[in-house]
């Protein structure tokens, strides 16, 4: 199994290795989780209400997409 690894602050998969769709999906889900966490952390560090709203919307949209990846991984009926 190919493991994702960190390159600085980014996690990467070596695409030269055999990587299953499930592994790729898990990797992208992890990246979405990192995006959600970063967006929510940034809200506390800025005072501009419009930027705060933008980052919160980013976290919410990425959260919905992450839920789709969870459904895919759990073989929800929509993905059968």
Local confidence pLDDT in tens for the 80 residues of the chain: 344 454 545 556 665 678 899 999 999 999 999 999 999 999 999 999 999 999 999 999 999 999 999 999 998 887 77
- Please provide residue 63's backbone torsions phi and psi, each rounded to the nearest 5 degrees: -65, -40
pTM, full prediction: 0.76
Q: What is the full DSSP assignment across 24-53?
A: HHHHHHHHHHHHHHHHHHHHTT---HHHHH
């Amino acid at each position: 199994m190919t493991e994702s690894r960190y390159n600085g602050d980014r996690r990467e998969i070596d695409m030269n290795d055999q990587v299953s769709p499930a592994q790729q999906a898990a990797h992208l889900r992890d990246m979405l989780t990192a995006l959600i966490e970063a967006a929510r952390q940034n809200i506390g560090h800025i005072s501009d209400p419009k930027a705060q709203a933008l980052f919160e919307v980013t976290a919410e949209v990425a959260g919905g997409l992450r839920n789709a990846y969870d459904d895919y991984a759990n073989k929800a009926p929509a993905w059968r």
